[in-house]
Structure formats: structure tokens, C-alpha cells
Amino acid sequence: MGKFNEIIKSETPTLVDFHATWCGPCKTMSPILEQLKASKGQSLRILKIDVDKNPTIAAQLGIRGVPTLILYKNGKQLWRKSGVIPFQELESLTS
């Protein structure tokens, strides 16, 4: 979790997307996150973590379902939600 902790301690807000390749709702989130990145540019970092490839970090953070999105800034969790999140909600959350 060293690299992960380093990334989330940034002053740049970091939205972490915990997903899985077999997850239908995760596929729905992908273009929403691309749209969010296009909208926010350098003011937001989006980090995608495959729970099947990173089971330790998923377990440590209590990820029980995918997709789960967590917003961090300066190492603090500001927001967390599971399921498909509409673009408008994510955009206002990261303003």
C-alpha cells in the first residue's frame, strides 16, 4: 500500500475507482470517469484499481462490492460510494 498511500496524500484530489473486469456496472462507470477526467483535467487524479489484481488493498479498505469509488485529498477520505455514480454527482463532488 506504500505507493497507494503516497498517491492519496497528494493535495490534488484523487478519485479511486475499485473495479473488476467481469463487473457490468464497472463498464458503465468507465465512460463516466473518462468524461470526468476530460472535464477536470489536472485538477483531479483518477486511479483505477482492479480488486482481483489487488485483493490486499481492497480487503484493507473494506471494499465489498464493485464499483466502489473513494475520493481522497491530503490522505483523508472525503467521500465513498458504491455503484454507478452519475457524472453530475461526481462533477459537483470534485468541484
For the annotated catalytic residues, the residue numbers are: 23, 26
Q: How far is CA 24 from the centre of its chain?
A: 16
Beta bridge partners of 71: 15, 79
Q: How far is CA 71 from the centre of its chain?
A: 6
Please list, residue by residue across 33-63, b when 16 or more beta carbons sit within 10 angstroms of its beta carbon and e when fewer do: beebeeebeeebbbeebbbeeeeebbeebeb
